[in-house]
Amino acid sequence: MFYPFALEKYLEDLLPPRDELLLEMERTALEETIPVVTPAVGNFLQMLVRFCGARKILELGTAIGYSTIYLGRGAEENGGRVLTVDMNRGRLDRAREYVKRAGLAETVDFRPENALHFLRGNKERFDLIFIDAAKGEYPEYLELTVPFLNPGGLLVVDNVLFRGWVVPGAVYEPKYERMVSRMRKFLDELTALKGFGCSVLPLGDGIALAHKEREPITD
Ligand SMILES: C[S@@+](CC[C@H](N)C(=O)[O-])C[C@H]1O[C@@H](n2cnc3c(N)ncnc32)[C@H](O)[C@@H]1O
């Protein structure tokens, strides 16, 4: 998040009340500095799943399953499923437990694997793909996920404004240079994708949406 805390807090106050489970996860993430989406982004994810009626959802980067629960709740309403991938087995086990407590054990499948490795072996197609794993690998995720997105499907990507550092002229420590330039490369490629409509929103740490056009109907 790169805009004032007061604004983030205000957006949060406008959300529907969150249940005790999500609040507990937020506290845990804060205490253990586990990066998870903001509540406003979580709420937005669930709405996106509803809007596009997604039934097959892929998430790259589970952590303890906070965003997974929002995606899972949307998927459940659509009679769909979420497949979530994270290479950190310890976190994935904790996510499994939270997802079970959310009553979504039958809706979410977990894959303890490196996201690139998973994508290279994948044969399934998805209606919505949420990218939130290694920031420096976003250009590769883009190349590998686009072919597996169904027509009409949605690519949703978190942290694309990377604390505002992707903005030309922003000041950041030199150690972040590679990550910032990879993110800029990713955004350039995403917004130039043929057959997609894109939008970048300054919500949370920056969210990019890319909608794959349906094939034109021909008589
Ligand atoms: C930002 S956290 C995900 C947060 C989660 N989406 C949420 O909002 O609740 C990123 C996660 O990606 C995982 N990760 C990082 N690089 C990865 C990779 N190459 N393959 C799979 N998982 C990866 C990390 O273990 C971490 O749990």
Q: What are the structure tokens assigned to 177, written together?
A: 């240079």
Mean pLDDT of the chain: 95
Q: Is the model's pLDDT at 19 over the cut of 80?
A: yes
Which of the four pLDDT bands, split at 50, 70 and 90, describes residue 139? very high
Ligand-binding site membership of 85 (annotated): no
Other C-beta atoms closer than 10 Å to the C-beta of 147 total: 9
Q: Is the model's pLDDT at 219 over the cut of 70?
A: no
Ligand-binding site membership of 67 (annotated): yes
Would you kindly state where each structural domain of the chain is located, as residue ranges?
5-212
Query: What's at 171, amino acid-wise?
Result: V
Q: Is 51 left (phi over 0), alpha (psi -120 to 50) or beta?
A: alpha
User: Which of 30, 59, 132 to probe ligand 1 with, by most ligand atoms within 8 A of CB?
Assistant: 132
**Among residues of the chain, what percentage have pLDDT more than 70?**
97
User: Which of 45, 86, 128 to probe ligand 1 with, by most ligand atoms within 8 A of CB?
Assistant: 86
Say yes or no: CB of residue 200 within 6 Å of ligand 1: no
Read off the pLDDT of each residue in 91-108 and give the average, rounded to a whole number: 98
Q: What are the structure tokens assigned to 30, written together?
A: 């804060």
- CATH fold group of domain 5-212: Rossmann fold (3.40.50)
Q: To the nearest 10°, report the CA torsion of 167, 185, 145, 99.
A: -40
Q: What are the structure tokens assigned to 111, written together?
A: 């894959």
Read off the pLDDT of each residue in 75-99 and give the average, rounded to a whole number: 98
Say yes or no: CB of residue 86 within 6 Å of ligand 1: yes
- Report which of 24, 101, 95 is spatially closest to residue 64, judged by C-alpha positions: 95
Strand partners, 131: 60, 157
- Report which of 18, 73, 44 is spatially closest to residue 205, judged by C-alpha positions: 44
CA–centroid distance, 13 to ligand 1, in Å, is: 27
Q: Is the model's pLDDT at 14 over the cut of 90?
A: yes
Q: Round to whole Å and give the CA distance between 130 and 60.
A: 6
Q: Is the model's pLDDT at 15 over the cut of 70?
A: yes
Read off the pLDDT of each residue in 121-138 and give the average, rounded to a whole number: 97
Q: What is the pLDDT of residue 217?
A: 61
Q: Round to whole Å and give the CA distance between 91 and 29.
A: 11
User: Per-residue pLDDT tens for 141-174?
Assistant: 999 999 999 999 999 999 999 999 999 999 999 9
Q: Label residue 153 exposed, middle or buried (CB < 10 Å: 0-12, 13-18, 19+).
A: buried
Q: What is the pLDDT of residue 5?
A: 81
